[in-house]
Amino acid sequence: MGVLVVIALVGEVVAWITFVGGALCLLAFAFARMVDGTWEPTEAVVADGPAGRCVRWFAGGEFHERPLDEEERQHIEPGESQPAYYRRRTPDRLRFQPDSPLPRALGGLAAILLSIGLLATIASTVAGLID
């Protein structure tokens, strides 16, 4: 068995594995994006409230307020206006990132796996044609 035949065989196996894995990650990405919902941009103001440091924002025709968690307290100072994002269906939920890390990770993993699958398919095809 020649080297090119082995390359073609290994390339095909790798392509199948990565295409299936990439498709599953792409499906999980779509599901995670759907579950995450739509987040709209707003301006949030950090203030000291009766229960400690909190964030206030206007969404859905009314003002909302929630306390900052421990990590947010370390990075955000009172009086600062911060770009934030509220959930369209439930405007009382707020976060400071435009998207969730899980869909972003799944999308990146899907892109990497599908790219590897494409490169493996090309390598397998070229090695099969040369042989």
Amino acid in the structure at residue 116? I
What are residue 81's DSSP bridge partners? Answer: 45
Q: What pLDDT was estimated at residue 92?
A: 84
Is residue 66 within 8 Å of residue 54, measured between CB atoms?
Answer: yes
The model's pTM is 0.74
Q: Residues 20-38: pLDDT tens digits?
A: 999 999 999 999 999 988 8
Sort 32 into a burial class: Cβ within 10 Å, 0-12 / 13-18 / 19+: middle
| Local structure of residue 39 (DSSP, 8 states) | E
Cα 60 to Cα 79: distance, rounded to the nearest angstrom: 23
